[in-house]
Amino acid sequence: MSVCAAARPAIIVYGKRVGTTLSVCTDNNCPVHDPRAAAREAADPAPSMAPAPEQETEEEAEERKQQHERRQSEYREMQERRAEERKQEEERREQEYEAEQARREELRQTRKATFERILANAPTTFSAAQLRILLRALVNLDPYTFADDVAEEIAEVDENERRTAEEVLLAAIDSLGDEKLTGFALRLALTSHVAIPRDGEMDFLAEAEAVFLQPQPKKASSKKAGKPTPIKATSKKTATKKKTAA
């Protein structure tokens, strides 16, 4: 049976009362507590000393012992090298994971900003293309969660809130001015689509961005640039008269 060499004594505290002192393993690759480390050790066990023959001289016994020590040293070096490679691989994966999380967080913030810009620039009436995108987004909502998502988005946090999500939304609609109804319709349709879509899913927020945040064409200047006034060259005769007068 393997013995954990990395176990360290630790005092376990239950509430305010000190409990029993236990041994806690501090090795991330302990073959006793880590099944993966145990599998690696089973696949590549540590070398054992060869059994002594029936007739062995002292010199032969010493040679067998030295061979065993050399094999053990080579085995330890190999294990240390592999452990360092595993450590570097784990660090690389951790860096990749952190980079991916940072990328996704940046993408979430970008999508949130896009959503807010769509609401801020909501038209008072929808064009046919805009209405089509609105309906597509509505059709693809989860009927069991979208009301909760929007209510959570617009309602203030209140522990004493007893209204249902539908009641919160109806109250919000009743309090809106006519010019803000289209913006609320966009909020209903797009709130659940702000999250990053999974692979293979349609991105309805991107579709809405394409039709609701189209770049406005630049207006042509009404005034035409005037032609430069040519400078009249002074004739030699005129210049001579001025010089004589002086």
> Would you say residue 183 lies in a domain?
yes
pLDDT at 225: 46
What string of DSSP letters covers 169-203? HHHHHHHS-GGGHHHHHHHHHHGGG-SPPPTT---
Cα dihedral: 74, 80, 82, 85 (round 10)? -140
> Would you say residue 10 lies in a domain?
yes
> Would you say residue 74 lies in a domain?
no
Closest listed residue to residue 2, CA positions, set 24, 35, 50? 35
225 in the Ramachandran plot: left (φ > 0), alpha (ψ -120 to 50) or beta? beta
Buried b (16+ CB within 10 A) or exposed e, 147-177: bbbbbeeeeeeeeeeeeebeebbeebeeeee
> Would you say residue 245 lies in a domain?
no
pLDDT at 231: 47
pTM flag (> 0.75): no
Q: Which domain holds residue 34?
A: 1-45
Per-residue pLDDT of the chain (246 residues), as tens digits, is 445 655 555 544 444 455 566 666 666 667 666 777 777 777 777 888 878 887 878 888 888 888 888 988 888 898 899 889 989 999 999 999 999 999 999 999 999 999 999 999 999 999 999 999 999 999 999 989 989 989 888 876 566 678 889 999 999 999 999 999 999 999 999 999 999 999 999 999 999 999 999 765 555 554 444 455 454 544 444 544 444 444
pLDDT at 232: 52
pLDDT at 115: 96
> Would you say residue 191 lies in a domain?
yes
> Would you say residue 150 lies in a domain?
yes
> Rounded to 5 degrees, what angle do the CA atoms 220, 223, 226 make?
125
> Would you say residue 185 lies in a domain?
yes
> Would you say residue 125 lies in a domain?
yes
**Phi, psi angles (nearest 5°) of residue 105:** -65, -40
pLDDT at 24: 65
Number of domains composing the chain: 2
